[in-house]
A and B are shown apart, each in its own frame.
Chain A
Amino acid sequence: MTCKDFQNHWKGGVGTSVDLLPQSTEMAEHARACPECGGFVRGEHLLKKQLDSLRAAVPEVPPSLDAAVAGNYRRYLAERPVAIDRPSWRAHLANALPWAAALAFAAIVAYGTIVFFVPHSSTGWAQGKDRIPTGQIPVPVRAEKQPPVAAIRKAHRGRRAPNPGGNIEVARRDDSIPRAFQSLVYCDQISCPGAMEVIRVQLPAPVLGFAQSPARAGGMVSADVVVGTDGIARGIRVTE
């Protein structure tokens, strides 16, 4: 056994107790043979003796301690109902805090979901129709001067004479009725998100700037209105 082995055995707890040393013959022999390790063992013996004397010098637990601790326990029992049955406001706060935090978090998440993922509430076509501001309905230019569509069709019915000039005129007159959708508000991908819906409505002819005519039943005009998901009309096309 080398000195290193001896130290390792000692350090590892094998020979930490000097009482065990004589039992380990190999270690004892090495301690006898090696002056350094022998000195180390003698030092440990001495230290053990000194620690033993220190341990022996500890006083016994004083009897007054028993009485004091028993008194403290009875005082604890006397105060205990207050402490247990009526928890302090701090305890209430400590209990409520996680719930409050959870509720606040849930509210934030719900708000975020509504703002970012749910499109603006669609209130139905009827409400959307009601919401069309009359001021925004485009009034066709020269609408009063243009004959209504039905009147033009009636006038041209049966007329087949090749009159290029006349055809041009009719065509021009037909074009005067807006066939394409006319924008009611500015609309692009950002301001008009989501799918559009086309609904057919009947509006009083004067509202669209058409003159009352007996050709129109009840003076109503049919129109296709493009309504966004928010219920606001984006465009209109007069059909009849």
Chain B
Amino acid sequence: MDSLETRPDRELLELALRGDESAFRVLYERLKTPIFRYVFHWTYSEAAAEELTQDVFILLLKEGHKYKRARGDVSAFAFGIARNLVRSFHRRERVYQELPADPGLEQIPNGEREGEGPSAELIRREDVLRVRSAIASLPDHYRQVIVLCDLCELGYAEAASRLECAVGTVRSRLHRAHALLGKKLKQSAKPEMELPAAGPEECLI
């Protein structure tokens, strides 16, 4: 009998639905990080991301029998569930438009902070918040490709299968999304104080 690690997600899901807990664990280990990241980039809240990721796996078990192989792989199915849950979350939490507290920022690896003072970290935090709010203000289809391709680091083909569209569509959308995001970031950037150009020093003596 071959190892569960080498089995495709589809078989693991079937086994998990039949009651094989070890198969479910393997499937969970494969999917948890990408789904958690995806949900986090849509909610910017660790607590919400944890709750929604949990819900994704509950629904994957409840609705797993509806999975159709022809419509994509199991991770695409799980991402579809996550996308629907995120939409419901945003509808529910529409009243809270401001960005939640950012515990994620505390997780920045120490290596990146080395050699930098507290002011640099503050600037970094501000920068992250600025980029987040700029991404959040993008239209939904542009935000999707940025989250999937840039933040979840999926390839074009994978992102296309998650979004159920063509690879070329993902590319062009990403290009436009980058252009729009760059424009928004430029607008939101604080105008730097311009120092007067240093002229030739006059000899006062």
Identify which of A56, A59, A69, A76 contacts B62 (C-beta below 8 A): A76
- A60–B109 Cα gap in the complex (Å)? 11
Q: Are B21 and A73 in contact (CB under 8 A)?
A: yes
Interface size class of B (residues with CB under 8 A): 35 or more
A61 to B178, CA, bound (A): 28
Q: How far is the CB of A115 from chain B (nearest CB, A)?
A: 43
B108 CB–A CB distance under 8 Å: yes
Q: Chain A residue with minimal CB distance to B146?
A: A51
For B73, what are the chain A residues with a Cβ–Cβ distance below 8 Å?
Answer: none
Please list 16 pairs of residues, one from A and one from B, whose beta carbons are closer than 8 Å in the complex, sorted by A's number: A10-B175, A11-B171, A12-B171, A13-B156, A43-B186, A44-B182, A47-B178, A53-B131, A54-B131, A54-B151, A58-B41, A72-B61, A73-B16, A73-B61, A76-B58, A76-B61
Q: Compute how far the CA of A67 lies from the CA of B153 in the bound complex, rounded to whole angstroms.
A: 27
CA distance A59 to B106 in the complex (A): 8
Do B156 and A73 touch across chains, with their CB atoms under 8 A apart?
A: no
Selected contact of B40 from candidates A10, A53, A59, A73, CB within 8 Å: A59
B175 touches A11 (CB 8 A): yes
Asked, given contacts A47-B185, A65-B54, A76-B62, whether A58 binds B131 with beta carbons under 8 Å apart, the answer is no
**B14 CB within 8 Å of chain A:** no
Note all chain B residues with C-beta closer than 8 A to A53: 124, 127-128, 131
A134 close to chain B: CB less than 8 A: no
CB contact list, B94-130 vs A, under 8 A = 102-109, 112, 124, 127-128
Report B-chain residues with C-beta under 8 Å of the C-beta of A61: 32-33, 36, 53
Asked if B58 contacts A56 (CB within 8 A), the reply is no
Question: CB-defined interface of B71-97 with A at 8 Å, one 1/0 digit per residue?
Answer: 000000000000000000000000000
Contact of A62 (CB < 8 Å), options: B21, B50, B62, B135: B50
Question: Could you say which of A16, A57, A65, A76 contacts B53, with CB atoms under 8 Å apart?
Answer: A65
User: Does chain B have a CB within 8 A of A136?
Assistant: no
B130 nearest CB across to chain A (Å): 8
Residues 68-86 of chain A, each 1 if its beta carbon lies under 8 Å from chain B, else 0: 1110111011001000000
Q: Specify which chain A residues have a CB less than 8 angstroms from the CB of B153 in the assembled complex.
A: 55
Given contacts A47-B181, A58-B37, A77-B21, contact A16 B104 (CB under 8 A): no
In whole angstroms, how far apart are the Cα atoms of A210 and B73 in the complex?
Answer: 94
Judge whether A59 and B178 touch: CB under 8 Å: no
Residues in A with CB closer than 8 Å to B36 are: 61, 65
Interface string of B127-156 (1 = CB under 8 A from A): 110011001000000000010001101001
What chain A residues lie within 8 Å of B175 (beta carbons)?
A: 10-11, 16
Q: Is the CB of A44 within 8 A of B62?
A: no
Question: Is B158 located at the chain interface by the 8 A CB criterion?
Answer: no
Q: Which residues of A contact B132 (CB under 8 A)?
A: 54
Contact of B28 among A46, A57, A69, A74 (CB under 8 A): A69
Q: Are B128 and A57 in contact (CB under 8 A)?
A: yes
A202 within 8 A of B: no
Tell me if B107 and A57 are in contact (CB < 8 A).
Answer: yes
B contact residues around A77 at 8 Å (CB): 19, 21
The 5 closest A-B pairs by CB, nearest first: A59-B104, A59-B107, A50-B131, A51-B150, A76-B61
Given contacts A50-B131, A59-B107, 9 further A-B contacts (CB under 8 A): A47-B178, A54-B151, A56-B112, A59-B49, A66-B28, A68-B54, A69-B28, A69-B32, A72-B57
* A80 x B104 contact (CB < 8 A): no
